[in-house]
A and B are shown apart, each in its own frame.
Chain A
Amino acid sequence: MRLLLSAELLKLLKQSKTYYALGAILVIELLILITAYFQGSTILDLLLDNLKQSFYFEGSLLNGNLIMYIVLNSLWFNVPLILMIVTSGIVTDEYKDGTMQTVMLQAVHKWKFILAKYIIAVLFTLLVIGFMMLTTFILAYSLFGNGDLVVYLNTLNFFEANDAFHRICWAFASGAISMVFYCVASLTLSIFIKEAAKTWIAAALFLIITTLLLKVDFVIPALNRFFFPKLIDSWQQLFYYVPDWTQILINNAILILYTLAFAAVGTYVFHKKDIG
């Protein structure tokens, strides 16, 4: 398995699309930063004009914490879409280039080969989220400084600077679990579909449907609590004034189980399927 993992890592590092993905994340961050730099104060003043007459806010509300929170919100759609496209390519490219056949003609166990791909996809996802967090942290704090965070979740919630930073870090960690789930799901889709373009469409559809189902009331309480679309926003729950830490932990644990189940299904299907 170690040999397969190092081969997969070498392939990932040598492919230009890996760096395109990191570049895309950086472009999103820069766009948010530029928009915030030139228009952020005006928008915030407009939104909080009344509140500012009654409350005192320490420092500027357009600060590094707010920028990090805005970047964090790209975990809803932009980042998972990029990650799903890149990670599904780990399998679809092998089919397209005929290397899947070449690998299967070597003395390699099918299940080990695909499991190595799942592991690399997970590591890549964690690397991207880590990269996103680190670059946003450096850029946002160096350009906008520190300060209190204001977030609108049903109502306006205010967090002191230190508390805000603490929550943002945990939100990135929880968001990383959601991103890993999406990536594993897209890899599983690629095993079924094989073709890159079709897999991208299926992955985008999966992402849209999951996001839509998040807001749907399934009537059955167990479905409302444990169905995977209901678990992907755990990172967002960290910005309620009093977060339910137990619920957040349970949601993340169940999402990890879903992730393992998707990977197990993909591995089983790949092992049973003919190549070619």
Chain B
Amino acid sequence: MLAGNNLSKSYSSGKALDNVSIHIPAGQICGLLGRNGAGKTTLFKILCGLVKPDQGQVVIDSKRSKPIGGIIERPGLYNYLNAYDNIKIFAGIQGAATDKASIQQTLLKVGLPLDRKDPVANFSLGMKQRLGIAIALINNPECLVLDEPFSGLDPIGVASLIALIQQLAAEENIAILLSSHMMAEISKCCHYIYVIEKGEIVNSGNTNELINRHITSFSITGKGIAASATLKDYSVELGINDARVVCTAGKIPLLLNQLLQEGIEVSSCTPILTLEQLINKNI
């Protein structure tokens, strides 16, 4: 379990965090959503013990030598070394196993190939993220924090990383906190979401509940959707291939039924939820 209670931090440029409290139970994935400069990285650095808060405290329920692991901003790796030597160095400095079998097991755990002997400077960003996670997991921490893990990854890389994160939470019972400014990625893999803005937690809740509570429009695609009579009763913005309909989550089953009865072959219905909506609802 990882918790931060009433955390505040100020720099000469202003207040970075203001009375922030956050709680991540074991085996759960929590998302921290916020714009660039909202205070996500400062919060992560405080939770990891890299930066001391002006006020408040961090509680980690762990008796292990390394209670928390993570990646802050980007995976910090020795680019002139290969993946094997990177693991060997980071494992060695903290007294973890550095034999060949243990290092290979660590690499395999995060899905990295064993046959890459070249320096990690040649690795793709996705592979660097995986190696960063492998290093974070050395010595079996009970909590893992990942700051912007999806930045710069292609859709395949994002999907693959989400699968890895979910696997770590489910199989190793690790409390995971990850941050992003990308709504879609966070909503796909998190059990709980915190929204941070200008150093304050402005919104939080169970992912499904939070999304349902704030959705006000859907993107619907289907054959003949632009000419639909049903949609005349709603506020609609027609796009090239879809119709963006203003509608709450509770009313969407009825709307879809009406479209089907009208003979519209609906092929997709995607909720439109932006970070701004989650931020502004509570400001």
Show the binding face of A for B, using Cβ within 8 Å.
Answer: 3-4, 6-7, 10-11, 14-16, 97-108, 113, 274-276
Contacts and interface: CB of A to CB of B under 8 A. Distances in A.
Contact of B85 (A14, A98, A99, A103): A14
B94 A106 contact: yes
Given A97-B76, A102-B76, A108-B94, 17 more contacts: A11-B89, A97-B78, A98-B72, A98-B75, A98-B77, A99-B77, A101-B72, A102-B132, A104-B48, A104-B49, A104-B50, A105-B68, A105-B69, A105-B72, A274-B45, A275-B45, A276-B41
Nearest to A113: B93
B225 interface: no
Which 7 residue pairs spanning A and B have beta carbons closest together?
Answer: A98-B76, A102-B76, A107-B66, A107-B94, A107-B65, A99-B76, A274-B51
Interface stretch (B26-34, B134-142, B252-260): B134-142
A101 B94 contact: no
A4 B85 CA distance: 14
B82 to A, nearest CB: 10
B234 interface: no
**Residue of A11, A275, A276 most packed against chain B (CB within 10 A):** A276
A275 B76 CA distance: 13
Interface string B74-106: 111111110001001110111100000000000
Interface string B219-249: 0000000000000000000000000000000
B77 A108 contact: no
Q: Is the interface of A mostly helix, strand, loop or mixed?
A: helix
Contacts of B70: 105
A104 B45 CA distance: 11
B79 A97 contact: yes
Contact of B93 (A98, A100, A108): A108
7 contacts: A3-B92, A103-B93, A104-B48, A105-B48, A106-B69, A107-B65, A274-B51
A53 to B, nearest CB: 60
B93 A274 contact: no
B139 A102 contact: no
A276 B80 contact: no
A7 B93 contact: yes
B52 interface: yes
Interface in B19-66: 41, 45, 48-52, 65-66
B185 interface: no
A101 B93 contact: no
B73 interface: yes
B135 A102 contact: yes
Contact of A101 (B50, B68, B81, B89): B50
B51 A276 contact: yes
B174 to A, nearest CB: 14
A106 B71 CA distance: 11
Contacts of B132: 102
A237 B20 CA distance: 63
Contacts of A276: 41, 45, 50-51, 72
A10 B93 CA distance: 12
B85 A10 contact: yes
Nearest to A16: B80
A266 B80 CA distance: 27
B136 A3 contact: no
A102 B50 contact: no
Contacts of B136: 105
Interface in B120-179: 132, 135-136, 138-139
Contacts of B90: 102-103, 106
Nearest to A6: B92
Given A7-B93, A98-B75, A107 B51 contact: no
Contacts of B48: 104-105
B80 A100 contact: no
Contacts of A103: 76, 90, 93
A73 to B, nearest CB: 34
A190 to B, nearest CB: 17
B81 A102 contact: no
Contacts of B77: 97-99, 102
A11 B71 CA distance: 21
A101 B65 contact: no
Contacts of B81: 11, 14
Nearest to B42: A276
B143 to A, nearest CB: 11
A15 B73 CA distance: 24
A100 B76 contact: yes
A275 B52 CA distance: 9
